[in-house]
Structure 1
Amino acid sequence: MDSYVTSVVSRLQMLYTSDHSSVVSMNLFVALLCTCIVIGHLLEENRWMNESITALIIGVCTGVVILLISGGRSSRLLVFSEDLFFIYLLPPIIFNAGFQVKKKQFFRNFITIMLYGAVGTLICCCVISVGATLAFKKMDIGSLDVGDYLGIFVTSTFFVVSILSFSQSLVLLCCYFPAIGAIFAATDSVCTLQVLNQDETPLLYSLVFGEGVVNDATSVVLFNAIQSFDLSHISPRIAGQFVGSFLYLFFTSTMLGVFTGLLTAYIIKKLYFGRHSTDREVALMMLMAYLSYMLAELFYLSGILTVFFCGIVMSHYAWHNVTESSRVTTKHAFATLSFVAEIFIFLYVGMDALDIEKWSFVSDSPGTSIAVSSVLLALVLIGRAAFVFPLSFVSNLSKKSANEKIGFKQQIIIWWAGLMRGAVSMALAYNKVI
């Protein structure tokens, strides 16, 4: 009996210690988030620094401190969860992108944006996939295990830092090079948008922003489609099924987002919640937006694409049916949630960049890691160029006015804007279903 009581007490003590450690970690992490916001505000006038870069640097510095305190065992306060990203952090980021988009410019350049974001992503994915397959076979690398791929991302720190947190249990074999293409095809144009003025360069800003969002959605849809097929033995039938699956996911996800947005606008208009409480209007818009994302995930569609178009439709219809106070509240509430989620991600990535396990893989095979990283970086550059310049030429053919055409300098900026890798790349790299 005494031994049983002792066992229960020890378990309770362990549970208390574990809970207390979690509380301490969360306190420190929230304090770091506040620090990022304050420093980001102080650097507001600096064109080359934004909150994302600030969070990244603070994360790296924090990782160094934790690494020293822990004796080289860990550099993180929290363990990143794939579910945490996909269920809680990603939806507000994507929804706010659709909710805040300048619809006039977006739809005026819709065809060009879809060319860049959808067709261009497919071209980039193919270039990276085929190039990686040929290059790695020529280098006689063979099947790459988790260590090799972790080394790839570690040695590419400052270019693809957002996918350094590659899942420890993830194993990518040569037959999954298409998945590598989908991961590296996902871009992050946030840094470029920080140095572009939406009023001075409306066309360029619209194209970079629009391509970034559609590209993220396309990459996720493409990645999910790749996981559903065995592309190691490609045939015309499998290729046709793959294209059909991609188009089905793309258009079905879009229509689900549009339907949810229209349904929300109809409910708000007919029931007129604002006559009693503006809180209900705001709550309904938030919950319906989140519901659209979760429904898409429930039916194995693209939640990113769904919640993005749900945001666009809500901002055009539902937003105009609510009271003035609700308009102000929803605009700032969605922007705040998106802002905090992005800072959280980059702060964690900065700490995880110093993960001792990943760097130990690099030290075991530095030559392989550097060689593969160089190949992938070169393929990303080539993949971007392979669609930006040809598709810009095609787009210019349909433009009559010289002001609407995409100049060569603008094409260079668009090409360069897509070289950064962000939150979606990290999320795809974390996916363990591959």
Structure 2
Amino acid sequence: MSSGISSVLTNLSTSDHTVVVSINIFVALLCACIVIGHLLEENRWMNESITAIAIGLCTGVIILLTTGGTSSHIFVFSEDLFFIYLLPPIIFNAGFQVKKKQFFRNFTTIMLFGAVGTLVSFFIIFFGAKKIFEKMDIGDLDLGDYLAIGAIFSATDSVCTLQVLNQDETPLLYSLVFGEGVVNDATSVVLFNAIQNFDLTHINIWSVVELIGNFLYLFIISTLLGVFAGLLSAYIIKKLYFGRHSTDREVAIMILMAYLSYMLAELFDLSAILTVFFCGIVMSHYTWHNVTESSRVTTKHIFATLSFIAEIFIFLYVGMDALDIEKWKLVQTSPGKSVGVSSILLGLVLVGRAAFVFPLSYISNLAKKSTTEKIDFKQQITIWWAGLMRGAVSVALAYNQVNVYIVCTLHIQESN
């Protein structure tokens, strides 16, 4: 009996030691990403995200060599890690740090690009992928998988473009790229969730109306929940005045209320990303002005730091995941077809972006009287190109897809 208990404790001790070693290595890699990213700060073509992916790739190679080609990861991925721990600080900080004056001045155009444009891109990628992939016979993908492909690849990431844009020199362009990126992420997640709840076995005109209604319901209720959470935090802090005793309580209530809004949205099957984004906007406009000066400085840097670390964490893992031996086994029998599928998806993304950026820019310009507020052709090209990258939200949605054969952001998994 005692020998059995001793064996169990030994196994637990070994498992805990492995976890500790993995965490130490990953934290050290995060530090390396920050240091190297800082040294390359003057390079326009490199930033922390690209640096993290490169370091992840190098680390994956080393792990593959040391494990005899069986793994490229330090630890096993869980989609809960994305949705519960990493995405909330990234999206909240995007709303909290947004330049509200420029954002709401161009709100109509941003919503055109971020909401209407995302839907246009979604339908083009969905129909294009379905028609082409069915002819290529890449695997047993059903209608839900093609819809998921459309939602996943309509989610953009404008981080790299924002790195080379100056907010003071090009305020209009910066505001549009940033605003579209955030609203696009939220719209893609709402669309993805609506598809997951959609009955694909009986499709008719009423089911399409139901899908649109479900999309609008998720979009509106998620937004209202975020606004309510932000206003509630402002009311509590203003009435109770935590700052007279401790600024720590002010900072803590802001962080916890923001996270609570995210988790409530998850609890009620809403769009948590949309909720926490608008919670961040409301908090930055109301709650932030009700706290003490020291708390303002503290919260601004805390939210930015948490978001920064979460983004580096995600891209570092993506770099290692690019060498996942299990994914490469799925495509090793037909690498040419895999490259072809990836090229087709890239082409569909390009067409999908062009299909709404240029027409919607023209419509937006019709409503603008001042030439400085209009989007010229060069800016339209920049906005079109800015949406070609796929970031954390795309990765999270791809990992969250239940079907094991669904397309991943970096690899196309196929079964023959």
Question: What's the TM-score once normalised by structure 2's chain length?
Answer: 0.95
1:239 alignment partner, one of 208, 215, 228: 208
Question: Residue type matched to 1:104 in 2?
Answer: K
Q: How many positions carry a matched residue from both structures?
A: 403
Q: Which amino acid counterpart does residue 299 of structure 1 have in structure 2?
A: F
2:364: which partner in 1? 395
Residue type of the partner of 1:401?
S
Instruction: Name the structure 2 match of 1:54.
Output: 51
**1:115 and 2:112 matched:** yes
Structure with larger RCO (C-alpha < 8 A, sep 6+): 1
1:157 is matched with which residue?
A: none
SS at match of 1:403: helix
Identify which range, 397-406 or 43-52, moves more after superposition.
43-52
For 1:393 and 1:233, the matched residues in 2 are separated by 38
Alignment partner of 1:75 is 2:60: no
CA offset digits 1:163-210 (Å, max 9, x no partner): xxxxxxxxxx34421111000000000010000000000000000000
Alignment-derived partner of residue 163 in structure 1? none
Q: CA deviation at 1:104?
A: 0.2
Q: 1:176 touches 1:231 (CA, 8 Å); kept in 2? A: no
- Deviation track 1:20-71 (CA, whole Å, cap 9, x = no partner) reads 0000000010011111111111111111111101111011011111111111
In the aligned structure 2, how far is the partner of 1:357 from the partner of 1:299? 34
2:168 to 162, 178, 199: 199
Map 1:130-169 onto structure 2 (within 5 A). Answer: 130-141=127-138, 143-144=140-141
CA deviations on 1:88-131 (whole Å, 9 max, x unpaired) are 10000000000000000000000000000001000100000001
Tell me the amino acid that sits aligned with residue 398 of structure 1: A
Q: Distance in 2 between matches of 1:240 and 1:83?
A: 31
Superposition pairs for residues 257-272 of structure 1, below 5 Å? 257-272=226-241
Shift of 1:371: 2.1
Note if contact 1:268-1:322 (Cα within 8 Å) is conserved in structure 2: yes
Partners in 2 of 1:12 and 1:142 — Cα distance?
Answer: 45
SS in 1 for 2:174: helix
Q: Note the aligned Cα RMSD (angstroms).
A: 1.1
Residue 412 of structure 2 corresponds to: none
The 8 Å contact of residues 253 and 301 in structure 1, kept in 2 or not, is answered as yes
- The AA in structure 1 aligned to 2:309 is V
Q: How does 1:12-411 map to 2 (within 5 A)?
A: 12-141=9-138, 143-144=140-141, 173-231=142-200, 233-411=202-380
Q: Tell me the secondary structure at the aligned position of residue 207 of structure 2.
A: helix
SS in 2 for 1:75: coil
1:231 positional shift: 3.6
| Structure 1 residues 280-314: Cα deviation after superposition (integer angstroms, max 9, x where no partner) | 00000000000000011111100000000000000
> 1:230 Cα deviation (Å)?
2.9
Give, in angstroms, the shift of residue 9 of structure 1: 1.5
d(CA) in 2 for partners of 1:64, 1:128: 33
Find the counterpart in structure 2 of residue 426 from structure 1: 395
Query: How far apart, CA to CA, are the structure 1 residues paired with 2:326 and 2:132?
Result: 26
Identity %: 78
* C-alpha separation in 2, matches of 1:79 and 1:142: 26
Q: Is the 8 A contact 2:350 2:388 kept in 1?
A: yes
Shift of 1:357: 1.2
Residue 142 of structure 1 and its aligned partner are, at CA, apart by 5.2
After superposition, give the CA deviation of every residue in 1:197-237 in whole Å (9 maximum; x if it has no partner): 00000000000000000000000000000011134653110
TM-score by length of 1: 0.91
Tell me, yes or no, if the aligned pair for 1:175 and 1:232 is still in contact at 8 Å.
no
Report the Cα distance in structure 2 between the residues aligned to 1:386 and 1:121, rounded to whole angstroms: 10
Change (3 A) 1:387 1:381: same
The runs of 5 or more residues in structure 1 that have no matched partner are 145-172
Verify the 8 A CA contact 1:142 1:174 in the aligned structure 2: no
Structure-2 residue corresponding to 1:413: 382
Question: CA 1:140–1:41 in 2, change beyond 3 Å: closer, same or farther?
Answer: closer
Query: Using the alignment, how far apart are the partners of 2:248 and 2:240 within structure 1?
Result: 14
Structure 2 portions without partners, runs of 5+: 404-416
Change (3 A) 1:202 1:428: same
